[in-house]
């Protein structure tokens, strides 16, 4: 059975979460919404429409969603050339690919944003496929993105591990029947990640790389970090 290593990108492999927070905060502010940055941070990882629903509620003026998302995209786009991958991120993907894992990115990023993230990561040689929220009807925390990612490489849930940094990542992996592994580099507290289903928690990609021999990627079972 093929082994599949699924990875979220923002906040997991690339240090971009807080840039998203600032971009959403400013986009919302420009439209008259004053949302605390800590609330925005907890919503990062959701697709744009779901993020706005989470922050503004179902009773909002939905006709403004496109304007808000467009403002976020424009503001976030000013950071593209300065995006940086976390230490060890590219090495982690190459190590797994070299060990026979199929590496698949599972992200809500689109088009130019995804290209910028992959440019910052600089590990295309290790990546088998990429699945985005545009490919499915529902984004994380629904299992759809992960199930779609597995279908791209002919993988099965029981042979897969999903690495992410958000509560939404952990919930999506659980619902898809995939082992969830969490990284703390996205800024979400350890307790929140474990309560959402993480079977192992590491500081960042470099920490996970250093412990590949003793965690879920080594044993296929629950591990700890």
Measured in whole angstroms, how far is the alpha carbon of residue 176 from the centre of its chain?
15
Distance CA(38)–CA(18), nearest Å, equals: 10
pLDDT-derived band of residue 219, with 50, 70 and 90 as boundaries? low
Which of 194-208 are b and which e, b meaning 16 or more Cβ less than 10 Å from the residue's Cβ? bebbbbbbbebbbbb
Is the CB of residue 185 less than 8 Å from the CB of residue 205?
yes
Q: How many Cβ atoms sit within 10 Å of the Cβ of residue 41?
A: 20
Which residue segments constitute the domains of the chain, with CATH numbers given? 4-16+84-219 (3.40.50.1000), 17-78 (1.10.150)
pLDDT-derived band of residue 28, with 50, 70 and 90 as boundaries? very high
Taking only the tens place, the pLDDT of each residue in 102-159 is 999 999 888 899 999 999 999 999 999 999 878 888 999 999 999 999 999 999 999 9
Instruction: Name 140's Cβ contacts closer than 8 Å, sequence gap at least 6.
Output: 45, 46, 47, 106, 108, 133, 146, 166, 168, 169, 171, 172
């Amino acid at each position: 059975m093929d082994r599949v290593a699924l990875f979220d990108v923002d906040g997991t492999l690339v240090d971009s979460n807080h840039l998203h927070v600032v971009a959403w905060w400013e986009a919302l502010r420009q439209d008259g919404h004053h949302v605390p940055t800590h609330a925005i941070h907890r919503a990062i990882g959701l697709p744009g429409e779901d993020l706005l629903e989470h922050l503004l509620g179902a009773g909002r003026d939905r006709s403004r969603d496109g304007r808000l998302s467009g403002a976020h995209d424009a503001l976030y786009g000013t950071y593209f050339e300065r995006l940086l991958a976390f230490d060890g991120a590219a090495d982690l993907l190459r190590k797994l690919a070299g060990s026979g894992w199929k590496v698949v990115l599972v992200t809500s990023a689109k088009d130019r944003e995804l290209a910028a993230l992959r440019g910052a990561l600089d590990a295309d040689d290790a990546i088998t496929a990429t699945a985005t929220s545009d490919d499915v009807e529902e984004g994380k925390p629904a299992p759809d993105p992960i199930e779609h990612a597995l279908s791209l490489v002919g993988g099965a849930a029981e042979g897969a591990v999903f690495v992410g940094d958000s509560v939404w990542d952990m919930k999506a992996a659980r619902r898809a029947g995939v082992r969830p592994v969490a990284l703390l580099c996205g800024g979400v507290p350890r307790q929140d990640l474990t309560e959402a289903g993480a079977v192992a928690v590491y500081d960042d990609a470099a920490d996970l790389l250093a412990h590949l021999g003793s965690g879920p990627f080594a044993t296929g079972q629950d591990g700890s970090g």
